[in-house]
Amino acid sequence: MGNMTSSENGEYSYEDLGHLMTLMTGDEKHSYSATSTLDVVWTLYDSVLNVDHERPDDPDRDRFLLSKGHGPMAYYAVLAAKKFIPADMLSDWGSYDSPLGYHPDGALIRGVEIGTGSLGHGLPIAVGMTLGLRIKKMRTPGVFCLVGDAELDEGSNHEAIALAGRLGLEQLTVIVIENGSASHGWPGGIASRFEIEGWSSATVNGRDHEDIKSALTQRHPGVPHVVVAQVEKK
């Protein structure tokens, strides 16, 4: 494991994520997509989400959905750092018999809520999941969905954004990684696309952990919330 050191509870630190990611080799890493999400995913699991690696199916857990699933390296590294999966599993990712595929599979990996594939389906699933919690009168768990800016070109997201706003799904928070991948963008910026449908919004530096945490924990009673995390590809 190189120079990595775990804490007393066996978790790794943010500084170890780069080492964990280097364990995953091959030609299908989508490294730009992965590194764009790294700081947001780390902040979620380190200081925002109510999740426990010992009880990944706890009904009262927060739900995190990675819709931007074609670059899962950062996600897998964070899951390993937080003890949802063993770190030595990373070196086999993408192999024939590995549960760590080039898209995460919710049926194979502890702590992963959904399988990802076609871009644009994570946010609609998140809306349905939030409605399910409302029907069950479970008001505490939050649903967090991470999407990419180019993914918002998919029509399914238009419908999900509109419906969530109309229904006032305050348990839903969407994080958009804005890294200049969108072909068309959005007049007035990405946040305005959600605001016009009744969402609250925050736009942050997608590398600043304190900014990210503050935006993700911002109160938004009666409405869903979007955080636009601006990052440069590197």
The span from the CA of 121 to the CA of 65, in Å, is 10
In angstroms, what CA-CA distances link 224 with 89, 175, 218? 36, 11, 11
Domains recognised in the chain with CATH numbers: 14-230 (3.40.50.970)
The span from the CA of 173 to the CA of 223, in Å, is 10
In angstroms, what CA-CA distances link 72 with 92, 96, 103? 14, 17, 6
In this prediction, residue 61 carries a pLDDT of 97
pLDDT in tens, the chain (234 residues): 345 555 556 789 999 999 999 898 866 656 777 889 999 999 999 999 999 999 999 999 999 999 998 878 999 999 999 999 999 999 998 888 899 988 899 999 999 999 987 788 999 999 999 999 999 999 899 999 999 998 898 889 999 999 999 999 999 999 999 988 887 777 789 999 999 999 999 999 999 999 999 999 999 999 999 999 999 866
The span from the CA of 103 to the CA of 114, in Å, is 10
Are 40 and 180 within 8 A, CB to CB? no
DSSP-assigned states of every residue in 172-185 = EEEEEEESS--SS-
In this prediction, residue 1 carries a pLDDT of 39
In this prediction, residue 4 carries a pLDDT of 52
In angstroms, what CA-CA distances link 65 with 49, 112, 199? 12, 8, 19
User: What are the backbone angles phi and psi of residue 222, rounded to the nearest 5°?
Assistant: 85, -5
In this prediction, residue 2 carries a pLDDT of 45
In this prediction, residue 8 carries a pLDDT of 53
Contacts of 224 (CB under 8 A, 6+ apart): 130, 164, 165, 168, 169, 170, 172, 173, 174, 194, 198, 199, 200
